[in-house]
Structure 1
């Protein structure tokens, strides 16, 4: 199984376990796991227990326990067993009365902060039993957004708290005295979003706090004997810096004071990480940059030694509405190799690696990608060589198999739109049409640069590369991808000439970058250089597109839109050679058409709707005529429909509904439709698809449920259906299955590939064995 799922946009959303060499991250309501050492394998599995958006994920140090928090007010504690068995949920805690916004961990202890203003300390036993041992609040109208806990002496802890006010708070915890408020540190001018603590030894700790004021402040925490050293520091006196003294108990005294300020980022500070052995601080920011800071040996001033990421656009910041940047960042050390991983606004990860050599340099490498909102459609190319997927994150993505590792990756992002994407269908192997949450449909052609890359890395030979456009670009404030020529075209005006120059540069740069790739493209290349040019728009619908299909010969497009009245609940047909609409429209339904499908030979067209009807149309010349409009085909909304392979035993189609029933229909003599069989399920049916050929004399229908379950049913020559396979619940999506699509080709081992799109933001590709 292959899983593509994006990472939530949260500041503590991912963490790495050096013990198990696994990264865990929040993916909508689930937790996804992957190995940085085997990134080509993608997401290994997902953990499902939360009922709402996951906010924070942390591994307990040097253990097998994983802690996650979410907007459902809960904290989940998982225990990892092994790669085969996976994780066990050992504790489910109703931790807060609102979203759990922050999390910090130490050995056998973790701290949570919630939108209810409470801060709670939890103890974890070796068997996974979790008990709340202390709780407190900072003050009215304060919400903790960042936490850090440090064990300064055995079973004596200092807890740092940042949140929705500029002050930096210090608490202490012991088993005897519980939680004690110790200090309030002024300095920041905005909310504090990230905290990191470094143990420098000999009772000295360096604490970094990052704020929305774009500054990083360093604080020095001293314990017992180290306090006297700080008192004698000339630096402390010169800064006229207040030293905050407090006692944890009768034997442990502490002091904390401001040490330094770091300036360099252009937007909110999102994440801070200390180097484990050196005095080097990593920071990431909403300005889409990562910096490594270290003190100058002569002056002691903190300077940036490394900058990774992108240059921020002048004037663009979170305050002005920009939503880019980096969120949660990891710094992983494995022998002489360092890896920096961060997630961005598109749900994808960026990854840089470097080796501890004299000529140390970070190099960006491919990493995980995936949708970050509900996946609305998945559809294979006609050849089965690649998969297209649309999502409410306003993208259409192309996934293909990398021949070097025989693993699936995202190789192109043909469409990055200003509207949520709803549906997609290939017209040929190098052209597709898609519908977004708008009234028009858009058709796209594969550019030459992408075709050459797919041929080189995936073995997908293009049909006619010479007729393809060179590349595409998305104009500023535009919705249509514009085709770019390889060479400059003469223009009449200076402005047009400058535009042509920019287009030619984009085309040449895209072609150059993609031709040099030896591995799947990275996120910045996917965003800028793998777009497909838009060639046509199709108009006619009065409301937003809900579904479309392309005839088997690729000559006709059928589409429908949202509707509450019969006048808009029509099917519109378009020719692909002239892009003109065929009139009249096909009327019959009263409410929104949810799905429509051409039969395998194009002779029939069937549609299903919110009005609980199906309509069957038969082709006559260039149009279709209504032969059956079945009232109350189901008792609830009909979500999907698919055709069985045509055989000498007749023509069948299958409908699936919220009434939890799958119904098989047979088209008899004189196009009379009769019920042939049905199956009742425990959950509403939301998606259907049938493999294009019979297997061992039966048709294989994949059934997707509202609860995420997936089943395979066989339908015999008489239309009688039975369940033959149910997918393991640990491998299925965490939410409604929105679309199913069989790959049209069968593998050499007689297995099939099934693509699944889900409301849990994932695209999954399963291998289904046909051998019984």
Structure 2
């Protein structure tokens, strides 16, 4: 304790008064891994710090943290953050009620945990999933397919991708039941990035994109029963694929629904892929369509069939601007329109080891994608960003760096964009080896095995 606090405590002890101790400060840094920070639609940022989950609200300075694992946490994701729509995803119905209730899923080593919470921040249940992975989990991706059913996927260094179903009781405090639906073997080169979406025009079909060490994006299609089959491969990147993210389906030409997939790689580039749904076909024409897929894939790009709908995949844009590995890309969260309708902004946030975050948008007149906003750190101690995230309303962006620090910018402009840095929590992500109060008692100095020192 500080010298001043020590004198007050000593005086209270001599006078026989009761002494009360309460927590007034928590300092924590983010683990030095990708895919371990998630900004929930409820407004809370969750991140892993050593073997704990830390939560904070960037806007209201509310913090809470829970320790529950014996291992260092490697992956973390809000499931509610990924709730975009009901079965008819192209209608854009946004499940706001579920966004405030459920859930976060985290991994420690080869174990998975589910942690539901209530808006009061009281964590009331922890669920450990069956042990399907033999090595560390590298990525998680999920989607609500109904009011009470979620489908999510996990990938691991063991070369296995597992599809899970989570049944969520609608009442507060209800149990979660998790079932393993399917297990996919991806070979010797494991996947490190995942994204899951509902196919436009096919309410009963899901699409799973996975990328990893073989420089390819693997597209799988499946139904809600969890049976996924490989649809196609997307080639173009020349290094590990580190991040994937599907957009909300976008209406094009007044009738066709396009689904966009953005990918980033250690080759320093970002690629935007467009998946266009074709009109439903009859039985005979659908069979003919399947027979021409192989030839069409060489001419126009990969083509696959799900149900009675075919989908043409093409490269929409190649984004070049970062000077180092691009660790994360993320579409801006949908904005609510009148009623339950939602609109997908054509805006992408990227974060790179070059210490920069960029916001990419198509130019209004030409349609070419350009970096409209660039923010970053000039300090040599930043050492690059491991990930970037949007605030649910799109007004703020958050990055976490090599040293466990957070960096946040907020658009404070009225007539035009004006992104300004904001104050965010900081701390150590490795064991703290020593700390001491200043003689004046005005600040606390700490040092850690993460090779950083902090004054508070």
**TM class, shorter-length:** 0.7 to 0.9
1:84–1:339 distance in 2 versus 1, CA, 3 Å: closer
Is 1:326–2:375 an aligned residue pair?
A: no
Is 1:131–2:179 an aligned residue pair?
A: yes
* RMSD of Structure 2 on Structure 1 (CA): 2.5
1:167–1:312 distance in 2 versus 1, CA, 3 Å: farther
SS of match in other structure, 2:116:
strand
1:364–1:142 distance in 2 versus 1, CA, 3 Å: same
Q: CA contact under 8 A between 2:79 and 2:102: conserved in structure 1? A: yes
**Misfit runs of 4+, over 4 Å:** none
2:331 to 267, 274, 281: 274
- CA distance in structure 1 between the aligned counterparts of 2:71 and 2:451, rounded to whole angstroms: 24
Is 1:90–2:148 an aligned residue pair?
A: no
Q: Where does residue 711 of structure 1 map in the other structure?
A: none
Q: Where does residue 187 of structure 1 map in the other structure?
A: 236
Query: Deviations along 1:193-239, whole A, 9 cap, x unmatched?
Result: 00111121342111111000001111111223399xxx9xxxxxxxx
2:359 to 257, 279, 292: 292
Q: Where does residue 29 of structure 2 map in the other structure?
A: 6
- CA distance in structure 1 between the aligned counterparts of 2:121 and 2:316, rounded to whole angstroms: 48
1:310–1:185 distance in 2 versus 1, CA, 3 Å: same
1:70 to 102, 107, 114: 107
- CA distance in structure 2 between the aligned counterparts of 1:165 and 1:226, rounded to whole angstroms: 34
Aligned residues: 374
Q: CA contact under 8 A between 2:412 and 2:420: conserved in structure 1? A: no
- CA distance in structure 1 between the aligned counterparts of 2:54 and 2:160, rounded to whole angstroms: 28
Query: Deviations along 1:592-645, whole A, 9 cap, x unmatched?
Result: xxxxxxxxxxxxxxxxxxxxxxxxxxxxxxxxxxxxxxxxxxxxxxxxxxxxxx
Per the TM alignment, residue 119 of structure 1 is displaced from its structure 2 partner at its CA by: 0.7
> 1:606-685 residue pairs with structure 2 within 5 A?
none
- CA distance in structure 2 between the aligned counterparts of 1:99 and 1:324, rounded to whole angstroms: 25
Q: Where does residue 399 of structure 2 map in the other structure?
A: 342
Q: Where does residue 640 of structure 1 map in the other structure?
A: none
SS of match in other structure, 2:129:
strand
- CA distance in structure 1 between the aligned counterparts of 2:432 and 2:37, rounded to whole angstroms: 22
Q: Where does residue 301 of structure 2 map in the other structure?
A: 243
2:136 to 75, 87, 99: 99
5+ residue gaps in structure 2?
A: 1-22, 84-97, 145-149, 170-175, 282-288, 290-297, 335-343
TM-score, reference length from structure 1: 0.46
Q: Where does residue 319 of structure 2 map in the other structure?
A: 262
Q: CA contact under 8 A between 2:69 and 2:108: conserved in structure 1? A: no
Q: CA contact under 8 A between 2:271 and 2:318: conserved in structure 1? A: yes
- CA distance in structure 1 between the aligned counterparts of 2:280 and 2:318, rounded to whole angstroms: 22
1:363–1:281 distance in 2 versus 1, CA, 3 Å: same
Q: Where does residue 173 of structure 2 map in the other structure?
A: none
SS of match in other structure, 2:418:
coil
SS of match in other structure, 2:59:
helix
Determine which structure has more spread, i.e. the larger CA radius of gyration: 1
- CA distance in structure 2 between the aligned counterparts of 1:22 and 1:103, rounded to whole angstroms: 18
- CA distance in structure 2 between the aligned counterparts of 1:188 and 1:85, rounded to whole angstroms: 43
Query: Deviations along 1:75-118, whole A, 9 cap, x unmatched?
Result: 11111024352342134332311001111111111110010111
1:111 to 135, 146, 153: 153
SS of match in other structure, 2:71:
coil
Q: Where does residue 196 of structure 2 map in the other structure?
A: 149
- CA distance in structure 2 between the aligned counterparts of 1:375 and 1:177, rounded to whole angstroms: 44
Q: Where does residue 44 of structure 1 map in the other structure?
A: 64
- CA distance in structure 2 between the aligned counterparts of 1:167 and 1:360, rounded to whole angstroms: 36
More strand as a share of residues: 1
Is 1:375–2:432 an aligned residue pair?
A: yes
- CA distance in structure 2 between the aligned counterparts of 1:224 and 1:302, rounded to whole angstroms: 25
Q: CA contact under 8 A between 1:191 and 1:211: conserved in structure 2? A: yes
Per the TM alignment, residue 383 of structure 1 is displaced from its structure 2 partner at its CA by: 3.6
1:307 to 358, 368, 374: 374
Per the TM alignment, residue 269 of structure 1 is displaced from its structure 2 partner at its CA by: 0.7
Q: CA contact under 8 A between 1:54 and 1:68: conserved in structure 2? A: no
Q: Where does residue 40 of structure 2 map in the other structure?
A: 17
- CA distance in structure 2 between the aligned counterparts of 1:211 and 1:365, rounded to whole angstroms: 28
Query: Deviations along 1:234-268, whole A, 9 cap, x unmatched?
Result: xxxxxx9632121222x232221222111010011
Is 1:364–2:401 an aligned residue pair?
A: no
Q: CA contact under 8 A between 1:289 and 1:311: conserved in structure 2? A: no
TM-score, reference length from structure 2: 0.77
Query: Deviations along 1:373-418, whole A, 9 cap, x unmatched?
Result: 110112222343221111112222211xxxxxxxxxxxxxxxxxxx
1:113–1:268 distance in 2 versus 1, CA, 3 Å: same
Q: CA contact under 8 A between 2:79 and 2:143: conserved in structure 1? A: no
1:170 to 208, 219, 222: 219
Q: Which has the higher contact order (CA 8 A, sep 6+)?
A: 2
5+ residue gaps in structure 1?
A: 232-239, 314-321, 400-772
Is 1:56–2:113 an aligned residue pair?
A: no
1:331–1:84 distance in 2 versus 1, CA, 3 Å: closer
Per the TM alignment, residue 47 of structure 1 is displaced from its structure 2 partner at its CA by: 4.1
Q: CA contact under 8 A between 1:8 and 1:26: conserved in structure 2? A: yes
SS of match in other structure, 1:65:
coil
